[in-house]
Amino acid sequence: MSTNVNGGGRKPPSAATNLIAGGGAGMMEALACHPLDTIKVRMQLSRRGRQPGMPKRGFLRTGIEIVRKETPLGLYKGLGAVMTGIVPKMAIRFTSFEWYKQLLADKKTGMISGKGTFLAGLLAGITEAVAVVTPMEVIKIRLQAQYHSMADPLDIPKYRNAAHALYTVVKEEGVGALYRGVSLTALRQGSNQAVNFTAYTYFKEWLRKWQPELEGANLPSWQTTLIGLVSGAMGPLSNAPIDTIKTRLQKTPAEPGTTAMQRISRIAKDMIRQEGIHAFYKGITPRIMRVAPGQAVTFTVYEILKEKLERSGPAALTGERYEE
């Protein structure tokens, strides 16, 4: 199935529009879904599966334990790192996706194939992973992995906040530590956005065909939310093992004389030997519960803000020339 990169004659959004609309959408998504991400990370780092006789801890119980031992604020550990990177992350995601689509589309007809849309999403995911996501996630995971109680002033954590974690990691491990797991992060983000954007684009195109009266206008918000939710759930199901290995790799310091690929291989082998194949899917439930509604929020808010900016924003936001 081919789609028109210009959305039926409408010009693609400018970089400024993507910066504001994507950044706003990302901030809303982070605030709404970060607790589920913290639960997911704790489940992926859990070693309870290695201990015979220990009951498995599901996402609800994990969340309750975090609140009980670390207060509700414990669910928001690492949020500062996410909020710092969310605006450039979303701006890069939407801007690069549009740019790659224009590059891969037929120059005469403006049409792009399904494979082209998939490749544009893949490249957009890799771009955001290298530029923003990997350093942001290293800091976020270090903060989320700390089991200290935020209610006890005497329980002093190693990393006090995102800025302190960034300073400490760079000081103790070097700048390279911020890019630990970059290959896995790029693979995860690339596959996520490839599946996500392709599904969302197709669903959006089908809904427009069924509702010709919406030609040239945005879909209703409830429809954008629904297709964002469905497309958002597809990525985690396709790359859960990658995300779990990445989380464990980024949580620990580097080992002298050991390459990243050697550590990835060892982590994977240890997980299979000690915890079984199911360990690769630890945290899959909260990850879907976090990513799917997160994408629903992202696409819905992005489409709303983009439309408002294109209707009333200055020429710099719409990409048009201003005329009296």
Tens digit of pLDDT for each residue in 205-250? Answer: 899 889 988 777 788 999 999 999 999 999 888 888 888 888 888 8
Which amino acid does the sequence have at 149? S
Whether 317 is in a domain gets the answer: no
Instruction: Let me know: does 49 contact 275? Beta carbons within 8 Å.
Output: yes
Q: Which domain holds residue 280?
A: 3-312
Q: What is the pLDDT of residues 60-98, one digit of tens each?
A: 888 999 999 899 999 998 888 888 888 888 889 999 998
Q: What is the pLDDT of residues 1-39, one digit of tens each?
A: 667 766 555 667 777 888 888 888 988 988 888 898 888
Which amino acid does the sequence have at 304? I
Angle, alpha carbons 110-1-125 (nearest 5°): 75
Residue that has been written with the tokens 């954007």 in this structure:
197
Which amino acid does the sequence have at 254? A
The DSSP call for residue 131 is I
Parallel, antiparallel or unpaired: strands 3-4 and 111-112 = antiparallel
Instruction: Let me know: does 19 contact 27? Beta carbons within 8 Å.
Output: no
Whether 320 is in a domain gets the answer: no
Q: Could you tell me which of 106, 295, 105 has the C-alpha nearest to residue 200?
A: 295
Whether 322 is in a domain gets the answer: no
Number of H helices, E strands in the chain: 11, 2
Query: What is the CATH classification number for the domain harbouring 122?
Result: 1.50.40.10
List % helix, strand, coil for the chain (3-state, nearest 5). 75, 0, 25
- Cα–Cα distance measured from residue 249 to residue 264, given in angstroms and rounded to the nearest whole number: 7
Whether 288 is in a domain gets the answer: yes
For the chain, give the mean pLDDT.
84
Q: With the CA atoms of 182, 184, 187 and 189 taken in that order, what torsion angle do they form, in degrees rounded to the nearest 10?
A: -70
Whether 148 is in a domain gets the answer: yes
* Domains: count for the chain: 1
Rounded average pLDDT over 165-194: 92
Q: What is the pLDDT of residues 44-61, one digit of tens each?
A: 787 654 455 566 677 788
pTM recorded for the entire structure:
0.76
Instruction: Let me know: does 215 contact 243? Beta carbons within 8 Å.
Output: no
pLDDT bin (cut points 50, 70, 90) of residue 324 is very low
What local confidence, expressed as pLDDT, does residue 84 receive?
84
What percent of the chain has a predicted confidence (pLDDT) above 90? 33
Q: Enumerate the β-bridge partners of residue 4.
A: 111
Q: Could you tell me which of 256, 283, 258 has the C-alpha nearest to residue 271?
A: 283
Whether 133 is in a domain gets the answer: yes
Whether 324 is in a domain gets the answer: no
- Cα–Cα distance measured from residue 274 to residue 224, given in angstroms and rounded to the nearest whole number: 42
**What's the distance, CA 207 to chain centroid?**
25
What local confidence, expressed as pLDDT, does residue 181 receive?
86
Q: Enumerate the β-bridge partners of residue 112.
A: 3
Residue that has been written with the tokens 């309870």 in this structure:
48
Whether 114 is in a domain gets the answer: yes
